[in-house]
Chain A
Amino acid sequence: MVDNAPPKAPDSRDSAGSADDVGDRRGPDRRVDTPASEGRKSASVRQAIRSELEQDEPEDANAAAPRPRADSTPVVEMDHVSLAFEQPILEDVSLAACEGETVVLVGESGTGKSTALKLILRLLVPDSGRVLIEGQDITHLSFEEALEARQKMGMVFQGAALFDSMTVFENVAYPLREHTKMSDDEITDRVREKLEFVDLEADRVMQQMPAELSGGMRKRVGVARGMANNPRIMLYDEPTSGLDPLTTGTITRLIMKLQRELGVTSVVVSHDIRASFRMASKIALLHEKHIAFFGTPEEMTASEDKYIQDFLGGL
């Protein structure tokens, strides 16, 4: 057993101090557990997660998320970011995703997870701190420069956000038509390739309208559109919310496939702990406006922190 502070990942320097915040924020309403009962509880939590992972389909054995490389430099980095509207939303949030990593941002509803993604996309500007994409500080970019910077990233929205006045083909082809000089044939080939990558029958779905697709298919088209331009960074906002367990598995495997085969760096916002543990190189836990934990899934399950255990106990 480790001490009460959760262990840090090698490059999680920015989250220093946040672990203590968790301890400080134990509300009076939290149960007071004895060390023995805490030990039993964390053991049972770990067991639950492991058994969940072991229940995965056999092909996942080879599809395990690669673990972080200690020497890699951050591709996506939030550096002491704070944001407030009428009230504070994020305070001194720092996290980093290195090349080829999948960082999953978890936390209770309304803790600012999606806001963090909007900050990375520069749809919002932080009040203080910096957001760096491939080393470039995007915080002070003009609106037009931000549009340019966003092309490095592919985003998959919670509800897929497909343009409902366009066909599936036009949706996936949209970023190519907007930002490349590709010919119609090249665009068709690329759209077909991306749709097949996300396990959709290109010929069948290309001319369909988004409203004719199921939720899972829409999400996959959303992934295909996000990756059409071959971005090196993919962002996912609640990719598995509102889906049945089988489709959740399909989408999770797809995110892992993107990381494994194309080496993209991903930031995933999720409240689905099971899916998060399957795909994450690192997990960041947002709690009361701060990063309460940032490290590998193993480190998270090994943590004795009361809030983390409570959070994982919600499996």
Chain B
Amino acid sequence: MAVSGTGLAFYGLDRRSALPRPSIEPRLPSFLTRINDAAKSKVLTIQDYFTLAGKSLRFIFARPFYTQDVIQQMDEMGVKSLGIVLLTGLFTGMVLALQSSVQLKTFGATMYIGNLVSASMIRELGPVLAGLMVAGRVGSGIAAQLGSMRVTEQIDALNTLGTDPIKKLVTPRVVAALIMLPVLTVINDFVGIIGGNIIASLVVGLPSSQYWRTVWDQTANGGFVLRYIPNDFIMGLFKPLVFGGLISVTACYFGLGTTGGTEGVGQATTKTVVTSSILILIIDYFITQLLLSVLNYGG
């Protein structure tokens, strides 16, 4: 008997023969069978997720190349997300400067606002906030679009017309996200630091030249890779790269696996935003831990 799941089996992720039911299963008590089924279902979900991610990455190098679709998705994810990323970055930088000015004033160290804002923005808040914003705006959009295509049989139509839906729909979105999320993050970081500059000048009265010098000092103090690339930049760009892949694959996974009509589309969208937001926060911790031990910080 076939194991039913997210419905991705149609799309080259055929798991008809995966994990066959053992013959002793009927003898198990019902609660054990349920636990067994639940565990199996979770394992299959993870297997599907990574198979989808693997296939979408492998298709980057396989003909035909859907360049037009990649450009369209880059516009959709990057250019159209610019507004919310600019606003998020600006106000995060401003509030960071404001809060830190209060704390630093007690030590008479308000000249270090630039250090604090730049370290926070480049290493953490820039990538994470851009990731969360894109997960909310773009991830939900992808899941809703692919989910609608699934329930209106457009995905089946692609298959029928001899096109691999993963190559046509998933790969361009993953590529676009891998490119655009780091770009958005850099913009977010930069605007955040400018926001900090505005508050440092207007509220604290710190000259801009001193602010920017502390920003650079902070970046330089973090150490360099290959003598010229600041460690902060490595951390600040590696994270959005991972988040971009994570958001796009999660959204495509839930979108393609949509079942149950329009209600299913809504559920796919919600699952995408919740799952990718949580994964961003969890994975952020582990990437930070990893990079702090790999990169020679302060060295």
Contacts and interface: CB of A to CB of B under 8 A. Distances in A.
A85 B156 CA distance: 19
Contacts of B163: 147, 178
A158 interface: yes
Given A161-B152, A161-B156, A123 B10 contact: yes
Given A85-B4, A127-B2, A151 B162 contact: yes
Contact of B162 (A157, A163, A175): A175
A163 B10 contact: no
Interface string A143-160: 110011011010101110
A155 B149 CA distance: 16
A286 B153 CA distance: 23
A143 B164 contact: yes
Nearest to A155: B160
Interface string A223-253: 0010000000000000000000000000000
Interface in B1-34: 1-2, 4, 10, 12, 14, 16
Nearest to B163: A178
Interface of A: 84-86, 118, 121, 123-125, 127, 143-144, 147-148, 150-151, 153, 155, 157-159, 161-164, 174-175, 178-179, 225
A179 B162 CA distance: 8
Given A85-B1, A123-B159, 12 more contacts: A121-B159, A121-B160, A147-B159, A150-B161, A161-B154, A162-B157, A163-B154, A164-B152, A164-B154, A175-B162, A178-B161, A178-B162
A147 B1 contact: no
B157 A157 contact: yes
B106 to A, nearest CB: 56
A159 B160 contact: no
Contacts, number: 63
Contact of A158 (B1, B153, B162): B153
Interface residues of B, number: 20
A127 B10 CA distance: 15
Given A143-B12, A143-B164, A147-B162, A86 B1 contact: yes
B164 A157 contact: no
A161 B165 CA distance: 14
Contacts of B152: 159, 161, 164
A150 B162 contact: yes
B33 to A, nearest CB: 14
Interface string B142-153: 000000010011
Contacts of A125: 14, 16
Contacts of A161: 152-154, 156-157
Nearest first, the 3 A-B pairs at minimum CB distance are A161-B153, A161-B157, A143-B12
A57 to B, nearest CB: 31
B117 to A, nearest CB: 41
Contact of B156 (A84, A86, A157, A162): A157
Contacts of B164: 143-144, 147
A84 B162 CA distance: 26
Contacts of B156: 118, 123, 157, 161
Contacts of B2: 84-85, 127
Contacts of B159: 121, 123, 147, 150
A150 B160 contact: yes
A161 B157 CA distance: 6
Which of B2, B64, B162 is packed against the most chain A CB atoms within 10 Å?
A: B162
Contacts of A157: 153, 156-157
5 contacts: A85-B1, A143-B164, A150-B159, A163-B157, A225-B161
Interface in B161-204: 161-164
A229 to B, nearest CB: 8
A179 B161 CA distance: 9
A118 B154 CA distance: 14
B16 A86 contact: no
A178 B159 CA distance: 12
Contacts of A124: 10
A125 B64 CA distance: 26
A85 B4 CA distance: 7
Given A84-B2, A85-B2, A125-B16, A155 B157 contact: yes
B4 A86 contact: yes
Contacts of A159: 152-153
Contacts of B4: 85-86
Contacts of A148: 162
B113 to A, nearest CB: 47
Nearest to B145: A165
Which of B154, B156, B160 is packed against the most chain A CB atoms within 10 Å?
A: B160
Contacts of B149: 163
A221 B56 CA distance: 31
A86 B1 CA distance: 7
Contacts of A153: 160
